[in-house]
A and B are shown apart, each in its own frame.
Chain A
């Protein structure tokens, strides 16, 4: 597959657009999935994924072949998704205290009308709960968690994609897992 991708990239660098369609077909599921999990909305996910592919095409000459092409694409998509998250009106994180209450968080408010654990295990509900929990993560934890558990990438690859030392990636994954545990661990 690596050879297939390398050949396509050579052709794209020469300006052959049709070769790029193969690349889009190859990676669209992964990139769309990443965007969806980062943003939690199909429409935004599609827009962001498309933009990521267009950026990759336009900047193909800056692609360094020593890096895996998928890592490069993930990097572009992750950065775009993080930009989108930042531009959105900042959401109140569930862990933040609601002003005027004492130690009462949004999460405990939600819990009151949340489904019981048995119901929550029913697939669709669980899916929503999981997605909401991911969306409540601050973006720096969200990106590592999505790359690690949704895209199933190694710490090494994540460190390459985000251009962060492995130690930082690990710390973020640990903190992300802890934050998620608070929302999902009791289900």
Chain B
């Protein structure tokens, strides 16, 4: 029997899944009559089935790790960013510390003006606060950017920031007498003050 000249092409179109209905009919009819072409077609179908059912190998388990180890080094900024993303708590905490210290530095540098927390029973001469003999100051005194001379009595704490304290022999301070000239002392002082506030709020 004479085979249509394009019969093999029709077989492949069929296997590709894009055979036209008209061609499919021609192919089907021919295969029913021609055993040689039917064998050919079966051989192709078997071949496809064999290849499709080839078992699948999987790569070794360390495949990804080995690829990653061979990649060129990544930029430091990226590594840093990822580290920060992976450790949000540490990031937040360190950011907090940095901001706190920063703000303390600023307050330390900003407050260059002379100030004193109380004006009762004291004499102010230039940048010096004098607690005169015989006078009693009730409460704490904080002096910024100035000195204090105590000849009388202070019933409370005295703190001198950026300045000096002179305690005359007759002078008396019932509380603590403190002089702060360093940034770190200033920070420590701030922390103590805040802690006191916190403790007081809880009390």
Q: Residues on A close to B: CB < 8 A? A: 14-18, 20-21, 24-25, 28-29, 32-33, 36-37, 42, 45-46, 49-50, 53-54, 57-58, 123, 126-127, 129-131, 134, 145, 149-150, 152, 155, 170, 173-174, 177-178, 180-181, 184-187
Contacts and interface: CB of A to CB of B under 8 A. Distances in A.
Interface string B112-128: 00000000000000000
B51 A58 contact: no
Contacts of B47: 177, 180-181, 184-185
B16 A54 contact: no
Contacts of A149: 48, 51-52
Interface class of chain B by DSSP: helix
B63 A32 contact: yes
9 contacts: A16-B82, A17-B71, A20-B71, A32-B59, A46-B60, A123-B55, A177-B12, A180-B47, A185-B43
Contacts of B25: none
A185 B46 contact: yes
B48 A49 contact: no
Interface in B24-69: 40, 42-44, 46-48, 50-52, 54-60, 63-64, 66-68
B22 interface: no
A27 B42 CA distance: 34
B54 A130 contact: yes
B61 to A, nearest CB: 10
Contacts, number: 107
Contacts of B15: 177
B78 interface: yes
Interface of B: 8-9, 12, 15-16, 40, 42-44, 46-48, 50-52, 54-60, 63-64, 66-68, 70-72, 74-75, 77-78, 82
A187 B53 CA distance: 14
A129 B46 CA distance: 13
Contacts of B77: 15
Given A20-B68, A49-B59, A173-B16, A37 B74 contact: no
B56 A33 contact: yes
A183 to B, nearest CB: 8
B43 A186 contact: yes
Most B Cβ at <10 Å: residue of A17, A42, A49, A54: A17
B16 A29 contact: no
Nearest to B43: A185
Nearest to B56: A33
B46 to A, nearest CB: 6
Nearest to A123: B55
A159 B181 CA distance: 78
A33 B128 CA distance: 87
A44 B12 CA distance: 32
A29 B12 contact: no
B51 A134 contact: yes
Nearest to A186: B43
B16 A15 contact: no
Contact of B57 (A14, A32, A152, A184): A32
B44 A185 contact: yes
B78 A54 contact: no
